[in-house]
Every structure is written in structure tokens, then in C-alpha cells.
Amino acid sequence: MTSSLPDNWQSWLVNTLAARDRDGLRRAPASIDSMQATRVQRDGQWLANFCSNDYLGLAAEPALQDALIDAVRRVGVGAGSASLVCGHHREHAALSEELADWLGVEAVLLFGNGYLANLGVLTGLAGRGDAIVQDRLNHASLIDGAMASGAKHLRYAHADASAAEQRFASLPESISKRVLVSDGVFSMDGDIAPVADLVVVAKRQQALFILDEAHAFGVIGSEGRGSVSHATLANDAVPLRIGTLGKAFGVYGAFAAGPRVLIDALQQLARPAIYTTALPPALAAVTRVALKHVRNDQWRRDQLQANIAQFRTGALAQGWRLMSSETAIQPILIGDTASANALSAELLARGFWVSSIRPPTVPVGSARLRVTLSSAHSSEAIAGLLNALAELTPRFLSNQN
């Protein structure tokens, strides 16, 4: 096939992809044929799925399937326009109120997804002349949001509140609008941010503290209220919290939660919430049902914790290097990209889907298998994964250290 691309673009694109191939970093999505659940069919092969963020097993929950079908019959498929034009449905309003009630905050603003929420919040609240200080290991969307904002952007050593404070101390006094941002649970490590210490730093520095609870909401805290509740802090200890609805909620979308004045301002300032079509109202409706499960189904969190314990105990006994995580994200640290890819491939051949996470998503030399657990995993499935890992210890554990 001949290309209509200009020659210089053709060669740049080909070279860019070739470099990814050479480094084992080329990515492409695998298509699944089944529901998103703890067993999925991929290219005709059934696999035990240990890489989704469906921590509470809600993505395939029959009650949610029924709720979505009912909602589509009532409210149709698409929102039709942006929320500030004519796309805001009563279901969106009800979901926002119920999320605010759950978190004990005054108001919530919905976003298309978590990436947009982080982009919108940081570009809406900070700009040239302001400063954003954030954890080195924060999610890519927070890094991108900070860069897009044009604010001075400083990163501090992972989970180190005193390093955060030093960053603030290095800023000129003239910078009065300061933002502190952290993941609540870190997406590639699974550890929990030192939220109580960061609250103190933010207060001392007069900084607005924003917490991204993508992997915390639903998973930790009372009624799944995330890392603030987990740290036994008051609901308003962190002024702005971001949640995604595509992980523990099992659906799609995201929201920012906080005091009314802040949410009202975001409605005016967060361009990725303004110049975009509203979430399908049926998704808002089904998310209201998902929220009931998140709040009330403590048994799902209990089962998830039991599954985490089963995996950690087994993997540590075999000598694998796990990270200090008490959440659903349980990475096996490997180091070099080629070994992580090879381990992922060996597990796949044995019927277990665990994705290998490599640079640039994680720092060079810290490639890992990102095992994620769900309340929906059976103990047999976890035992199966541990058996497969046991077969692979001779080859992969001698490589370490």
C-alpha cells in the first residue's frame, strides 16, 4: 500500500515504532470476546484475569446489567450534548448528590473519565504564576494536567511528606496559589499515600490538597470511602478528591468531590468538563446502583482482603519480591523489561493473564508484573496463579538481586 504521508513523517513514524519494538516496549491492546470478569476469553483461549481494576466484581454484576438495560429503555443511549447545553439529565444530578452524600462533601462534578478530571481540575485551578507540587509516582494524568496548566511544577520523592514540604519551601513567597497533589493509592505500586502527613503539610503551606482516589474508592475505608477514611481523618480533611467510576465501580466516568464553592468554580473553569459531551445518562443511572453496592457490600471488601492475603502469603513464601501494598494492586517486582515480559508470557501460556508494566509507565529497572485482585476471584483461581508462579521460580528468581 502506498502512503499518503509526507516522507519525513513516514520515516519518523516507522522509526518511532521500530525503536519501541527494539526495546520491547511496543504496546497493543488484546481484544477480549467475553464479559470483563475474573475469567475472560481472548483469542479463543479462556484466561484467569489478574489485571483488571474491577476490584469489587461489579463490571459483570447481574444486578448492574439489569439496571443498565432498564435505564437505557427509560433514558436512551447518548447524552446528546455537553452538560451545560442540554446533556445534563436528572440521573446525572442524582448521581452527583448521592456521591456527595457518600463522601460527606457538599458537591460533586462529573467528568467523562479520570484522565479528563485530572486534566480539568489542574488546568482549571492553576496556571502561570501558581505552583503544583506532586508525588513522583502520581498517575500520568496528574503529570499531564500539571504540565498543561502552565504552573510551576515540582515533584517530590515518593510518599515523602517532608520532601513535599521542602519543595514548597523552595518556592518564592510571591507564589500564593499552591496545589499539593497525590494519588491516594498508587496505581503501579499499590501503596497508600501518607495522607495525614500531607494534610499537615498542605495546611502549613496554605496549599490546596487534591487526592486522586482512583484505586482507593470502593477498596479501602469505611463504606469504601477511600484513603481519607482509611487514615481515620474527617471527610473534609482533604478539600478535593477525584474518583473514577471505571475501577471499583465497574462502570465508566469520574468525578471531583469537595466544598460547594470549589465545585462551582470547577464547573466554570474545568474545560474538559465543559467542552465535552456529558456521560450517557444511562451510565449515571447504573452508577447509582453501583454506588449502593460500593457502600453496602462490605462483604466484597472483606473477600478482597482475604484474596489479597492469600496471594501475598503464597507469593512471598515462594520468594517473589512484592511491594508493601495492602490494596488490590500487588505487583511482583522483576527489574528488567525483558524478564517481566517473559514472565507475563509464561503465565499467559499457563492460562493466567497478568500484564507486565514497563517503562515509561514505571521507572527504568523496575519493570513488574502488576497482579490485581478482585473480590470476585475464587480461592481456587488464586491458588492456580500461585501454582503457575511456583513452576517459574527457578527461571525467574535466580535473575533477581
Ligand X SMILES: *Cc1c(COP(=O)(O)O)cnc(C)c1O
End-to-end CA distance of the chain: 48
Which range binds ligand X by CB under 6 A, 61-69, 163-171, 207-215, 351-359? 207-215
Q: Does 191 bind ligand X (CB under 6 A)?
A: no
State the minimum distance, in angstroms, from the CB of residue 118 to ligand X: 6
Which range binds ligand X by CB under 6 A, 4-12, 65-73, 189-197, 212-220? 212-220
Report the residue number, 134 or 375, with the smaller CB distance to ligand X.
134
Which ranges of 319-361 would DSSP assign to H, the alpha helix?
337-349
Contacts of 381 (CB under 8 A, 6+ apart): 38, 39, 48
State the minimum distance, in angstroms, from the CB of residue 272 to ligand X: 11
Q: Residue 148 burial (CB < 10 Å; 0-12/13-18/19+)? A: middle
Selected catalytic residue, list 187, 227, 366, 375: 187
Distance CA 19, CA 24 (A): 9
State the minimum distance, in angstroms, from the CB of residue 395 to ligand X: 31
State the minimum distance, in angstroms, from the CB of residue 396 to ligand X: 26
Which range binds ligand X by CB under 6 A, 8-16, 19-27, 94-102, 211-219? 211-219
Backbone angles phi, psi at 171, to 5 degrees: -85, 145
Distance CA 119, CA 132 (A): 13
Q: 377 an active-site residue? A: no
User: Which one of 54, 130, 165, 183 is in contact with ligand X (CB under 6 A)?
Assistant: 183
Distance CA 185, CA 123 (A): 22
DSSP-assigned beta bridge partners for residue 42: 32, 45
State the minimum distance, in angstroms, from the CB of residue 214 to ligand X: 3
User: Which one of 40, 193, 248, 254 is in contact with ligand X (CB under 6 A)?
Assistant: 254
Which range binds ligand X by CB under 6 A, 60-68, 210-218, 229-237, 313-321? 210-218
Q: Does 158 bind ligand X (CB under 6 A)?
A: no
Q: Does 141 bind ligand X (CB under 6 A)?
A: yes
192 grid coordinates: 497508600
Selected catalytic residue, list 247, 325, 355, 377: 247
- For residue 28, the tally of other CB atoms under 10 A from its CB is 5
Report the residue number, 112 or 384, with the smaller CB distance to ligand X.
112
Q: Are 219 and 327 in contact (CB under 8 A)?
A: yes
Q: Are 29 and 22 in contact (CB under 8 A)?
A: no
State the minimum distance, in angstroms, from the CB of residue 182 to ligand X: 10
Contacts of 271 (CB under 8 A, 6+ apart): 120, 123, 124
187 is in an annotated binding site: yes
Report the residue number, 178 or 215, with the smaller CB distance to ligand X.
215
Q: 355 an active-site residue? A: no
- Among 146, 123, 120, 125, which Cα is nearest to 134's? 146
Minimal CB distance residue for ligand X: 114
Q: 247 an active-site residue? A: yes
User: Which one of 96, 149, 244, 366 is in contact with ligand X (CB under 6 A)?
Assistant: 244
- For residue 221, the tally of other CB atoms under 10 A from its CB is 21
Distance CA 122, CA 269 (A): 10
What dihedral angle (degrees, nearest 10) is formed by the CA atoms of 62, 68, 69, 75? 170
Q: Are 373 and 304 in contact (CB under 8 A)?
A: yes
State the minimum distance, in angstroms, from the CB of residue 147 to ligand X: 15
293 grid coordinates: 453496592
Selected catalytic residue, list 92, 215, 230, 293: 215
**Count of residues that bind ligand X according to CB under 6 A:** 14
Q: Which of positions 86-125 make contact with ligand X (CB under 6 A)?
A: 113-115, 118
Which one-letter amino acid corresponds to residue 121? V
Distance CA 365, CA 36 (A): 31
Q: Which residues are annotated as a binding site?
A: 27, 114-115, 139, 187, 215, 244, 361
Q: Which residues are annotated as a binding site for pyridoxal 5'-phosphate?
A: 114-115, 187, 215, 244
Q: Which residues are annotated as a binding site for substrate?
A: 27, 139, 361
- Residues lying near ligand X in the complex (CB under 6 A): 113-115, 118, 139, 141, 183, 187, 212, 214-215, 244, 246, 254
Kindly list the catalytic residues.
187, 215, 247
